[in-house]
Amino acid sequence: MVKTKITINKTKASRLNDVDFENIQFGRVFSDHMFVADYANGEWQNFEILPFQNLDYNPAFNSLHYGQSVFEGMKAHLDADNNVVLFRPMDNFARLNRSCERLCMATIDPQIMLDGLSELIKIDKDWIPKTEDGALYIRPFIFATDQYIGVAPSETYKMVIFTCPVNKYYDTAVKVKVEDVYSRAASGGTGFAKAAGNYAASLLPAKIAKEEGYDQLIWTDSIEHKYIEESGTMNLMVIIDGKIITPPAGETILGGITRLSVIAIAKDLGYTVEERQISVDEVIEAQQNGTLEDMFGTGTAVTITHISGFGRKGVDYELPPVSERKISSHLKNELEAIKRNKKDSHPEWLVIVK
């Protein structure tokens, strides 16, 4: 394969020295550069690395009006030899293309994305935090750029990858509300895609839950609000009586790469994993008979985040203290070690940027 030809235009004014790496707010600090490309006349072109900067469009710019906009989220870490390690990047780029297809947008060769990202990360390597929980969060996205009013697939698109140094996302376990009015996704919809509009639609129900004292939602199926789907931008796993249960990813549950990795690691370590539908009633019953051991979310931004308790229809249910959650802590440590190239159990997941 021919390597992507990328024009590189470096900043003359790095902002790196202004960053306090011990105190960064998630998603608010941007590294010096970004990788961009344009889609026009049926092909991707103008591959460029530029200083992080504003983009310029007129107000009829159609992703603002009609929502053809999809994104990805992934992380890079440094290993013990100071190499940059990307975790399953090709899985993210494949998912980006699945999102593009669903939103009727131009897809892009994953190799172009990987070449661009690798160059970008080499240039901004010093932005990767050296703190224990630190990582470089990577945000690839594609959006429509035709500039006229009219509902139709855009003929032009822009792809951008920028990065953010980050620390932990949640510091503590989160309390969640089982949502039984609103839905995140329905059969035949866009729930499996990382489509911008999905997140806009989740904000009001999440705000209502916050006002009721919860940190996040648990989405349930849109038909009966009976089965657990996911939580915020995390897939959900429940441990009942030593068994890890997680609903199958598919049409309405986003196929998280962390989810897939945690399932694989759990099986490697000899735990039982059941991928099946699980009802809220089953979880409540387990909570009441003392077999509900754990509930946690998985996602790139959050890694594994414990759920401290959940509420349904105004009734709250507590989970055991995080210190007792041996299985998920084991899975989390293993996953974090793999991502930092400290284990060789899954070399196929890692891309080392040289």
Residue ranges binding ligand PLP (CB under 6 A): 73, 194, 230, 233-235, 254, 256-259, 298-300
φ/ψ (deg, to 5) at 339: -60, -25
**Cβ proximity of 148 and 64 under 8 Å:** no
* Closest residue by Cα to residue 293 from 238, 236, 343: 238
Q: Minimal distance in Å, beta carbon 76 to ligand PLP?
A: 14
Q: At what angle do helices 89-102 and 110-123 cross, to 10 degrees?
A: 130
Q: Minimal distance in Å, beta carbon 51 to ligand PLP?
A: 27
Sort 159 into a burial class: Cβ within 10 Å, 0-12 / 13-18 / 19+: buried
d(CA 221, CA 179): 9
d(CA 230, CA 178): 10
User: Which residue's CB is nearer to ligand PLP, number 6 or number 138?
Assistant: 138
Sort 81 into a burial class: Cβ within 10 Å, 0-12 / 13-18 / 19+: exposed
User: Which residue's CB is nearer to ligand PLP, number 49 or number 301?
Assistant: 301
d(CA 205, CA 216): 9
Within 8-139, residue ranges assigned H as helices are 62-66, 89-102, 110-123
Sort 289 into a burial class: Cβ within 10 Å, 0-12 / 13-18 / 19+: exposed
Q: Minimal distance in Å, beta carbon 25 to ligand PLP?
A: 19
Q: Minimal distance in Å, beta carbon 218 to ligand PLP?
A: 12
Structure tokens at 2: 């021919």
Q: Minimal distance in Å, beta carbon 156 to ligand PLP?
A: 26
**Cβ proximity of 247 and 273 under 8 Å:** no
Q: At what angle do helices 257-268 and 89-102 cross, to 10 degrees?
A: 140
Q: Minimal distance in Å, beta carbon 2 to ligand PLP?
A: 29
CA atoms within 13 A on the CB side of 328: 27
Structure tokens at 44: 């991707």
User: Which residue's CB is nearer to ligand PLP, number 123 or number 264?
Assistant: 264
* Closest residue by Cα to residue 11 from 128, 158, 119, 123: 123
d(CA 221, CA 187): 9
